Structure 1
């Protein structure tokens, strides 16, 4: 196994399989996994019930949590894989909430200003893995895991987030980006599909391969 230290992050919409892939890849490469804080988030249930009222509170909570984790990752000195990046907070979720009128102008300006100051000196990931998934796949995964606070998620909201993700990935320039078409593979039940993803990751990290690779 290559002894270099890598920082890899897994990005994708709600229900795309980020946490599962993070766990599986961490086991394959013997990397330390960092997971998104969900169960202990005090705002999620309220947010899905009333997005406009709780959007700013939720995004500030996520920003503080992911900044702390991102800083810990860069100071750890070991290879890690992270479930959702700090960049998705501002580029996807906060931006989308503001665009839809679910976050006030002044709250959005305060949030983006804080984000800029907090993340200016953070180390970028060596590789971003984007799990691309259509709405049916996302809804199926969300229904299967049965989280109570996700029952009120609207299909339209997921569609809007997917659009924001595609725009962000198209312009991503912080480092290498590996796009996985997760509608067409099952890395949980199929060892071959998981091995396929592992080989793609090796290609990106251990060779001077292309900046973007999509299958």
Structure 2
């Protein structure tokens, strides 16, 4: 039944598992997969070491990268191929507000407005939530060297930014998942449970929290 959603976007803070879930959903419904490919950003390791110095370059790289991706998506035939993405273009503004100072953000906003990136509106957005300490544990568990310097405080501020953004999000149906006790990668039962909950969705905004 998930095949009725031609374009699904999975979002959430670092460590929430959005890429893993996007991969599994795409495989499940035999959809095209669109990934943000953060590892291609040459400024990202430097940003985690010295955020103030490298924040603007990091954000501009992501902006141009994702603008090109959503342009390709806009030109593709979404009526013939389902697509699952692990990002929304709007997240760029969310990260920019969090990481840039006022002058840098004004410059970033001018470039963003000049580019006028436009992405198709998803048929469904899945937003993954988890506590900052759990996010950090998952980030450390990935074993990526430059991510080891990500602090719990940064993840807390990032998670708060996502919460504020999705609190007023109305552009597409939104399925909010507390993923603290769900393992989409290693547990077929957890993945099947999530798919059942999404398929049972009736309104434009629902929340799923699996009890321990």
Q: Does 1:50 align with 2:50?
A: yes
For residues 54-203 of structure 1, the aligned pairs below 5 Å read 54-77=54-77, 78-91=81-94, 93-97=95-99, 103-119=100-116, 121-203=118-200
1:201 CA drift (Å)? 3.3
Aligned to 1:100: none
Question: Would you say the 8 A contact 2:5–2:123 is kept in 1?
Answer: no
Deviation, structure 1 residue 70: 1.2
Q: 1:4 Cα deviation (Å)?
A: 5.2
* Unmatched segments (≥5 aa) in structure 2: none
SS at match of 2:153: helix
Q: Is the 2:5–2:124 contact (alpha carbons within 8 Å) kept by the matching residues of 1?
A: no
Q: Equivalents in 1 of 2:160, 2:5: separation in Å? A: 33
| CA shift for structure 1 position 47 | 0.4
Number of equivalences: 205
Runs (5+) with no aligned partner, structure 1: 98-102
Judge which range, 111-120 or 148-157, deviates more.
Answer: 111-120
Q: Contact 2:89–2:119 (CA<8 Å) still a contact in 1?
A: no
Q: Which runs of 4+ in 1 moved over 6 A?
A: none
**SS of residue paired to 2:26:** helix
Tell me which residue corresponds to 1:10: 10
Sort the Cα spacing of 1:162 and 1:2 in 2 relative to 1 into closer, same or farther, 3 A: closer
Find the residue that maps to 1:151 and give its secondary structure.
helix
Report the CA distance between 1:115 and its aligned residue: 2.4
Q: Distance in 2 between matches of 1:3 and 1:163?
A: 31
With 108-117 and 70-79 compared, the bigger mean Cα shift is at 108-117
Structural RMSD (CA)? 1.8
Deviation at 1:7, TM superposition (A): 1.2
Quote the residue 2:206 is aligned against. Answer: 213
Displacement of 1:15 after TM fit? 0.8
SS at match of 2:183: coil
* Secondary structure of the corresponding residue to residue 10 of structure 2: strand
Contact 2:10 2:84 in 1 (8 A): yes
TM-aligned CA distance change 1:71 to 1:51, over 3 Å: same
Where 1:189 maps in the other structure, the secondary structure is coil
Q: Which moved more, 1:142-151 or 1:186-195?
A: 186-195
